[in-house]
Copies of this chain bind each other. A is one copy, B any other.
């Protein structure tokens, strides 16, 4: 039995609320159960120097967590003087995931920064962030289209993410914090709406895992992402 009493292939309650950040070009408050992430997309007319003159745009992501988003308070990164390794790893992951479904040349020489700030954390913050970021990015593109900056929304597909794990010997979908702390294996899957793989990150926390474990988790992830993409369609439809 999972601590959350969910079936092994059952996601937490997921919601995607658009337009929550008054000043952002696109935004989304995404909830995977008690994990809440506020995503805001900011359009900038200029690119970082190393990207200029290549005839394409760029999507970058930043990630943060409120100090008391967690059970124990964590130190503010501004007081430690630098983003942690974990923060940077997540930022890079979210950026790659989004860029995989954006037609970068079609967006022009502009940059969109997607800020993902965790208001409350109960496991799976990076997968929730990716899922909500697609909605915020979509709305940022819609904002640009409405102002005739681009002729169409330059998204090639949906992208969403979910974590899976082997908990008490059973492959399970969408780990919350209690499960994540005890899982023997933990894997994050980023998939497109059409089912293509964008990113897999699987880690054995204790003993190594088998190819069969990997396949079982991938199957669960396909189911979960299917549901997330359906919710994204509802949200922006």
* A45-88 vs B, Cβ < 8 Å mask (1 yes, 0 no): 00000000000000000101011111101001111111111011
For residue A148, CB closer than 8 A to chain B, the reply is no
Q: Is A214 a contact of B201 with CB atoms below 8 Å?
A: no
Complex Cα distance, B20 from A69, in Å, reads: 11
Q: Check if A218 is an interface residue, CB within 8 A of chain B.
A: yes
Task: Give the copy number.
Answer: 6
Neighbour of A115 across the interface among B66, B87, B211, CB < 8 A: B66
- Option from B78, B201, B207 in Cβ contact (under 8 Å) with A200: B201
Contact between B38 and A96, CB atoms less than 8 A apart: no
B residues within 8 A CB of A77? 77-78
Indicate whether A89 sits within 8 Å of B87 (C-beta atoms), given known contacts A197-B211, A199-B204, A208-B196: no
Known: A192-B208, A200-B214. A66 touches B38 (CB 8 A): yes
Are B202 and A200 touching (Cβ within 8 A)? yes
Tell me the dominant secondary structure on chain A's binding face: mixed
Asked if residues B120 and A22 are in contact (CB atoms below 8 Å), the reply is yes
Q: For A22, A78, A192, which residue has the most chain B Cβ atoms within 10 angstroms?
A: A78
A176 interface hit (Cβ, 8 Å): no
- Separation of A21 and B119 alpha carbons in the complex (Å): 8
Contacts of A87 in B (CB 8 A): 78
**CA A23 – CA B123 in complex, angstroms?**
14
Interface residues of A (CB under 8 A from B): 21-24, 27, 34, 38, 40, 42, 44, 62, 64, 66-71, 73, 76-85, 87-89, 91-92, 96, 100, 113, 115, 117, 119-120, 187, 191-192, 194, 196-204, 207-211, 213-214, 218
